[in-house]
Structure 1
């Protein structure tokens, strides 16, 4: 019996995240879906891990559930993210901790865990949903965190290309259609020679 590929998706309870769960199931993947609040799935090939990805235990549980339930991690979709719109001088220490805890540390540590597992199975794919804020909202803190993810995408793609781990990102507009973002991620998933790219999904904005 063939073992299905396995994807871990953060921020998977609604919108783009929930649509990604369905899209990956259509591709034949087993799914581990994480969100701060998420109900158990009736699909035996979908496991859910509730909790904030900023919490170290939740990051460990998401990857651990994939390995214990399905034996591997082939793809990690970093979709969880926090956006706080404030004038730059009004950001508080709590704002900084909240945003960086998800957008940077959450990304960093779950990606480390996922790549570590991918290396034992001969490759994989890491794809991150970053954010484009070209709509006039004050977004310095989002730019600091999410902009850095574009750069680390290229860096990790170069670092792991020889080990068959691809690393890509999708940058949506502030309010894109869910399907457009999902389509871009599915395209990257199936484009086996594409790595180190940041795909903008913003209608030319």
Structure 2
């Protein structure tokens, strides 16, 4: 396999991520790009599109379709398995998998800040398939605050398996076997003049996911 060229700063793709670059780095590698081609720029879940709208990013990782009028979403470039995040003391912590029906036994988290409500309903369903209410009680702010609360209570967060790469050892990531994986896509501002190298990356990432 030929060596990939080291990019100049003008060739760098500014890619927005939340929580971990683990998932995004898999997308980059699958597209055939060197990790040095990308600058990973974190965004907060309370204001997920603020860095994009401020021009700090070219593109960002999104789960599902945010249905925001000024945001364009690519075809899926990957998938992320579903999981619950719990403290090591939690009754579900040592399970190999759990059902979403069991989630209703514990307090979860509210939709944070400016996060799209339609997407949060897919991340943290308001009800289980059998009609049980999932109690969205706690405020969601930052990842450190989430970790602190999970470590001190029996709350849980319905989330994604990719977070296993960044959470401390006292927080467990337990797969949910009856929720489908989330589609992962790239998003950018509608009408934005994306540089040619960024458009090429999006196209390569989409093509890699179709293989």
Length-normalised TM-score, structure 1? 0.32
Bigger strand fraction = 2
Which structure would you say has the larger Rg? 2
Higher relative contact order (CA 8 A, sep 6+): 2
Query: Which structure has the highest helix share of the two?
Result: 1
TM-score, structure 2 normalization: 0.31
